[in-house]
Amino acid sequence: MTTTCPLPPPPSERILLAHGGGGKLTQQLLDRVFGPAFANPLLDERHDGACFTVPAGRLAVTTDSHVVRPLFFPGGNIGSLAVHGTVNDLAMCGARPLYLTCGFILEEGLELAALHRVVAAMRDAARACGVAIITGDTKVVDQGKGDGVFINTTGLGVIEHAQLIGPRRVAPGDAILLSGDVGRHGMAIMAEREGLQFESAIESDCAPVHEPVLALFAAGVTVHCLRDLTRGGLAAAANEIAAVAGLKMALDQNAIPVREDVHAACETLGLNPLQVANEGRFVAFVPAAEADRALAVLRNFPVSAEATRIGTVTERAAPLVTLRTTLGVNRILDVPSGEQLPRIC
């Protein structure tokens, strides 16, 4: 044993199966880790769930489990991702995020210090987004039956405008707006996981996007559909919406921002940046006549300062997404058919 090979933390500082048993150690986790970090009046009731009052109107609910590997990556970690991911899904429903629930699946042997870091990141991200984590659950699985931490966050938000948004509202002629450059989250994870060295470190774009989205509604912009560009990236989002809506859309590769280092990393790995996951990017489908006004609103916020128009919905037809490439050729932009980047979120 030398100073370069410190003793591992004592067993009491690692997650044991009993932390999920509903007994004293479960209680300790609540008292020492989750309770202090997430404290709020609803959570502090220590009931089987959280009870609260809502005004009459529309709500949105969304759920995501997070299994990203590694747990910590440039620009974020599984905790901030779990908050931003669900906040963003609520925003994509046009809702103001209010509450999150949080379900942890911990692997026996996880260092408590790592859990503390993750929980602190969740606390900070939730505060920054103005959401409260109001109820939760912790399970522990045997070593080798999990992978450190999995986190489910389910979000509840309130819809404060009268617009109906969703894939089925997208119409021919709609402008397709993109909130910023694409491909960073996926490449940041990939670089970290595979130990790849690029000239500059690529940081995840992991960030909440509810503020620019809510500003669109506040400004009275007509919004037909919103979609964040997570798994499968821009390509999957565009194709899913085309499929549900039954229409064609044409994108212009020259208009889609991809950072030089992300482009180079994708080239090296044979990946298409339009198919790579993002965690702070979205597309908005708006009537063409409102596109400029929408872009002006989006550009007021750092997270969407580079918002730009990348394409147009062309016609009701068999679903198809085409891309006019940098060479001026039109080709089909398809969804990834296999798995290019597992466990990206």
Q: Name residues contacting its own copies, limited to 42-81 (CB under 8 A).
A: 45-67
Q: How far is the CB of 20 from its own copies (least distance, A)?
A: 7
What would the x/- binding string for its own copies be over residues 188 to 217, using CB under 8 A? ------------------------------
Tell me, what DSSP letter sits at residue 204?
Answer: P
Order of all β-strands in the sheet with 132-141? 132-141, 96-107, 149-159
Instruction: Closer to its own copies by CB, 142 or 292: give it.
Output: 142
Considering only 74, 109, 120, 147, the residue that binds its own copies (CB under 8 A) is 147
Instruction: Closer to its own copies by CB, 13 or 142: give it.
Output: 142
Tell me, what DSSP letter sits at residue 14?
Answer: B
Alpha carbon of residue 175 to chain centroid:
23
Order of all β-strands in the sheet with 225-228? 225-228, 282-286, 175-178, 308-316, 247-252, 320-324, 330-332
Instruction: Closer to its own copies by CB, 212 or 232: give it.
Output: 232
Q: Residue count at the site for its own copies (CB under 8 A)?
A: 89
Q: How far is the CB of 232 from its own copies (least distance, A)?
A: 3
Should residue 313 be labelled a site residue for its own copies when binding is judged by CB under 8 A?
Answer: no
Comparing C-alpha atoms, which of 90, 58, 120, 344 is closest to residue 209?
90
What is the DSSP track for 239-264? HHHHHHHTEEEEEEGGGS---HHHHH
Considering only 29, 175, 226, 286, the residue that binds its own copies (CB under 8 A) is 226
The CA-based dihedral angle spanning residues 205, 210, 211, 215, taken in that order and rounded to the nearest 10 degrees: 130
Stretch that binds its own copies, among 1-9, 33-41, 239-247, 249-257 (CB under 8 A): 239-247
Q: How far is the CB of 39 from its own copies (least distance, A)?
A: 15
Q: How far is the CB of 250 from its own copies (least distance, A)?
A: 21
Residues 94-133 that bind its own copies (CB under 8 A): 94-95, 99, 101-105
Q: How far is the CB of 19 from its own copies (least distance, A)?
A: 8
Tokens of 249: 């859309």
Instruction: Closer to its own copies by CB, 150 or 312: give it.
Output: 150
Instruction: Closer to its own copies by CB, 45 or 292: give it.
Output: 45
Should residue 134 be labelled a site residue for its own copies when binding is judged by CB under 8 A?
Answer: yes
Distance CA 239, CA 9 (A): 48
What would the x/- binding string for its own copies be over residues 257 to 286, using CB under 8 A? --------------------x---------
Q: How far is the CB of 150 from its own copies (least distance, A)?
A: 6
Beta strand 149-159 with 132-141 is: unpaired
What would the x/- binding string for its own copies be over residues 14 to 33, using CB under 8 A? --xxx-xxxxxxxx------
Q: How far is the CB of 95 from its own copies (least distance, A)?
A: 7
Three-class SS of residue 7? coil
Q: How far is the CB of 12 from its own copies (least distance, A)?
A: 13
Residue 161 gets the label, from left (phi > 0), alpha (psi -120 to 50) or beta, of beta
Considering only 75, 76, 79, 167, the residue that binds its own copies (CB under 8 A) is 167
Distance CA 192, CA 21 (A): 34
CB neighbour list of residue 316: distance below 8 Å, 6 or more residues apart? 172, 246, 247, 248
